[in-house]
Amino acid sequence: MPTQVLLVEDSRAMRDYVSSILEAEGDYEVHEVGNGFDALRALPRDLFGLIVTDINMPDVSGIELTRFVRQTPRHANTPLIVISSEASAVDKDRAMSAGASSFVAKPFTPEEFLAAIAEAIALPRPDLQAGAEPGADEGEAT
């Protein structure tokens, strides 16, 4: 079964680029939304195995979305990658402090993006270490 990915990016060109990288890998099903508000609506609907968000988003920023995700039991331990054209150390620190698993500065190559995914997925996930199925504590079928 492919990994469900929530891609949150307001730029159609960037959504197409990231989706093409993931689709070329063949083990991802990408759900695209164009802003943070739509991401907040999508999170309860599906159990995502990976979330990718830009920092600069309409309505709800990527930093705010990351904080929300980390406070939501269903996705608290989901690998989350922040992508941004704002590549200063301060921006990276903000993203990582909010709970990002990895940070990728734009522009990036497919190899850099896939390396960030591998890094994010390899991080310890307390829910899985305890033998629990992500989202199982909510009594929902996955």
pLDDT of residue 57: 87
Alpha-carbon distance 62 to 98, whole Å? 9
Dihedral sign, CA of 29, 33, 39, 44? Answer: negative
What length is written for the chain?
142
Instruction: Note down pLDDT in tens along the chain; length 142 residues.
Output: 889 999 999 999 999 999 999 999 988 999 999 999 999 999 999 999 999 999 998 889 999 999 999 999 999 999 999 999 988 889 899 999 999 999 999 999 999 999 999 888 886 655 433 333 333 333 333 3
pLDDT at site 141: 37
With CA atoms as reference, report the closest residue to 30 among 7, 61, 60.
7
**pLDDT at residue 72, rounded to an integer:** 92
* Statement: the pTM of the whole predicted model exceeds 0.95: no
- Closest to 61 in 3D by CA, of 40, 41, 30, 77: 40
Q: Which residues pair with 6 in a beta bridge?
A: 31, 51
Cα–Cα distance for residue pair 7/49, rounded to 1 Å: 11
User: What is the pLDDT at residue 122?
Assistant: 80
Alpha helix locations (H) across 1-142?
A: 12-25, 36-42, 62-70, 89-98, 110-122, 126-129
CA–centroid distance for 131 within its chain: 22
